Copies of this chain bind each other. A is one copy, B any other.
Amino acid sequence: MRGLMFDSQLLLHSFLWRTERLFADKQIVTRLGPGEYHRYTYRDFGKRARRLGDAMRTLGIGPGDRVGTLAWNHYRHLETYFGVPGIQAVLHTINLRLSPAQQKFTIDKAEDRLLLVDVDQLDLVADLLDLGLPTVEAVVVLADSVPEHRLPLPVHCYEELLAAADEDAQFEEFDEHSASAMCFTSATTGDPKGVVYSHRAMVLQAMCLAMHDKLNMSESQVWLEVAPMFHCNGWNIPHTALLQGATLVLPGAHPSPADYVDIIEDLGVTGMNAAVTIGTMIRDAVRASDRPRDLSTLSTLWLGGQAPSKAVMKWFRDEYDCEVMQGYGMTENSPQICFFALKSTLADGDDDEIYALRQTQGLPIPLLQIKVCDQETREELPWDGQSIGDFFVRSPFTASEYYKDERTKDSMIDGWLRTGDVGCIDPEGYVLLKDRSKDLIKSGGEWISTIDLENSLMLHPKVAEATVVGIEDEKWLERPLACVVPSDPSLTADELRDHLLAEGFIKFWIPDTFLFVPEVPKTSVGKYDKKAIRGVVADEGLERAKAALGAG
């Protein structure tokens, strides 16, 4: 027996209806330069998003067609988030931080027919076209006018297209399973892997983020979207802001940590989402500033990508009464998997206990199920906070396959996504990841968690950044190596060894080698690039790798 309910589809433009009707006067603010902001209302935004849909149709884009963007976080990019999926086309946000060869690969694989690009990306686009982009038919420049260029293709001006389009154009209802967007995630080996999101997935996940005890985004918030909009739908922040009518702040092109501090002060930002490294850089920018900085409006700081260090969490709390909340997600999960929330039943814990909880990945969001399975037997493990295994998820917003990619079979197994993370779940349901499965060190038959070592190293007052990787070892097969960026040049390896022992690690876990380096290599999304470090050591040997990494 079926329920007798309207079969209204879960479509992103239902959010647009809300913003245009209920929150028309709320603002979207884009930073253009120091102290300079572009502002308009959700009313204007809605009209422009619908105009964009009409313009896309005029350019021959229809249902199922892919449209790529090469753009920073700004209002025009936001318009593409709704204007392209609104006509049932698919928005492919190309990662600005991939290599040109990888970018070409993703554009070819997605078969993008059109590229919408920022002015500062035109040279890159020309280079890509030199490499050959067989599916791309035209380029739209996200600007008031088209500058001189060397593109051998039709090039349109975004603002001219919008001016010529119909602002009364409406988005129709269609199947909620229709693709809305595509992102590519960098793979450990081989080419990037494509994930295709549906309207349904985006709508459901934005609803989860807006819920109490999750991101809890509300209408009254002024939210700064630091995470790149070319990275996994900007962590779904644009959709959630529209759903709730929050003021949305976009940092524009090439933002620096000091720019974020300015924006928070200028606009009274109350919430923000960023990679953990950005959180650390904002702290350092405040410390380096020649005047006191006021971040007191900031009440929610969602840091993702990896576990934030206790030092950073405490700094934001002590300086600005701002709680850092960890959120754990991945491109394959639209992206969110867990959010930290302190259960009322655990709120009596002492400071250390609560910080230990805050360093977990948090609790699974609604509609999502999780499990941990033994890496060899594949059997499900108990939620005892100790049994470590492969971490699996499933939900209506979890990728069921990679786009036209045989590697699907390695990750999507019996209706579950194998995340590639290794960890355990405690009896309360808090997820505690120990490592990416590829980063976990197996040394003399024992598992060594690089994340546990990193977290402890980061607590040392003379350490700015630290990462640990496994390197080949004749006797133990693998041994840990630490790359450390000192904040004080007097730091010695012996101090770090003593520190780790004092933190409770057994001798066998202590890295044999500490490299003091000027910076840790990072991936396109700002995470420590352990693969690169391992690669340098493997290819060059430890002694030459030291030089390659700049180790003193």
Asked if B21 and A383 make an inter-chain contact with CB atoms under 8 angstroms apart, the answer reads: yes
Asked if B363 and A22 make an inter-chain contact with CB atoms under 8 angstroms apart, the answer reads: yes
Asked if A401 and B4 make an inter-chain contact with CB atoms under 8 angstroms apart, the answer reads: yes
Identify A400's interface contact among B5, B216, B218, B428, CB under 8 A. B5
Identify A396's interface contact among B7, B18, B90, B177, CB under 8 A. B7
Asked if A220 and B344 make an inter-chain contact with CB atoms under 8 angstroms apart, the answer reads: yes
Question: Which of A123-131, A199-207, A227-235, A475-483 lies on the face that meets chain B?
Answer: A199-207
Asked if A211 and B213 make an inter-chain contact with CB atoms under 8 angstroms apart, the answer reads: no
Cα distance A178–B443 in the bound complex, in angstroms? 52
Q: In the assembled complex, which residues on chain B have CB atoms less than 8 Å from the CB atom of A208?
A: 207
Least CB distance from A184 to B in Å reads 13
Q: Which residue of B lies closest to A66 (CB)?
A: B1
A336 within 8 A of B: no
Least CB distance from A101 to B in Å reads 24
A394 within 8 A of B: yes
Asked if A200 and B3 make an inter-chain contact with CB atoms under 8 angstroms apart, the answer reads: yes
Asked if A8 and B212 make an inter-chain contact with CB atoms under 8 angstroms apart, the answer reads: no
Q: In the assembled complex, which residues on chain B have CB atoms less than 8 Å from the CB atom of A200?
A: 3, 5
Question: Would A195 and B64 be within 8 Å (CB), given that A10-B396, A212-B216, A220-B344 are in contact?
Answer: no
Asked if A207 and B26 make an inter-chain contact with CB atoms under 8 angstroms apart, the answer reads: no
Question: Which of A74-82, A259-267, A364-372, A373-381 lies on the face that meets chain B?
Answer: A364-372
Kindly identify, within residues 7 to 30 of chain A, every residue whose CB is under 8 Å from any CB belonging to chain B.
7-10, 14-15, 17-18, 21-23, 25-26
Q: Which residue of B lies closest to A173 (CB)?
A: B415
Q: Which residue of B lies closest to A222 (CB)?
A: B344
A224 within 8 A of B: no
A188 within 8 A of B: no
Asked if B219 and A178 make an inter-chain contact with CB atoms under 8 angstroms apart, the answer reads: no
Asked if A198 and B396 make an inter-chain contact with CB atoms under 8 angstroms apart, the answer reads: no
Asked if B345 and A25 make an inter-chain contact with CB atoms under 8 angstroms apart, the answer reads: yes
| Among A23, A63, A219, residue most surrounded by chain B Cβ atoms (within 10 Å) | A219
Cα distance A17–B244 in the bound complex, in angstroms? 27
A236 within 8 A of B: no
Asked if A343 and B1 make an inter-chain contact with CB atoms under 8 angstroms apart, the answer reads: no
Cα distance A367–B63 in the bound complex, in angstroms? 23
Q: Mark A176-190, 1 if CB is under 8 A from B, else 0.
A: 011110000000000
Kindly identify, within residues 217 to 267 of chain A, every residue whose CB is under 8 Å from any CB belonging to chain B.
217-220, 243-245
Q: In the assembled complex, which residues on chain B have CB atoms less than 8 Å from the CB atom of A196?
A: 1-5
A458 within 8 A of B: no
Asked if A429 and B21 make an inter-chain contact with CB atoms under 8 angstroms apart, the answer reads: yes
Least CB distance from A272 to B in Å reads 17
Q: Mark A272-293, 1 if CB is under 8 A from B, else 0.
A: 0000000000000000000000
Q: Which residue of B lies closest to A243 (CB)?
A: B366
A403 within 8 A of B: yes
Asked if B3 and A198 make an inter-chain contact with CB atoms under 8 angstroms apart, the answer reads: yes
A469 within 8 A of B: no
Cα distance A82–B192 in the bound complex, in angstroms? 43
Identify A212's interface contact among B63, B195, B217, CB under 8 A. B217
Cα distance A429–B43 in the bound complex, in angstroms? 13
Asked if B364 and A398 make an inter-chain contact with CB atoms under 8 angstroms apart, the answer reads: no
Q: In the assembled complex, which residues on chain B have CB atoms less than 8 Å from the CB atom of A398?
A: 5-6, 8
Question: Would A17 and B369 be within 8 Å (CB), given that A5-B400, A7-B400 are in contact?
Answer: yes
Q: Which 5 A-B pairs have the closest CB atoms?
A: A3-B198, A1-B64, A220-B344, A22-B429, A212-B218
Task: For the A-B complex with A5-B398, A22-B429 known, give 16 more contacts whose Cβ atoms are closer than 8 Å.
Answer: A1-B90, A2-B198, A3-B197, A4-B400, A4-B402, A4-B403, A5-B396, A5-B400, A6-B400, A7-B396, A14-B366, A17-B369, A26-B345, A207-B211, A207-B366, A210-B211
Would you list 11 pairs from A and B whose C-beta atoms are within 8 A, ordered by A residue? A3-B196, A3-B198, A4-B195, A6-B395, A6-B400, A10-B367, A15-B366, A21-B383, A21-B429, A210-B212, A211-B212
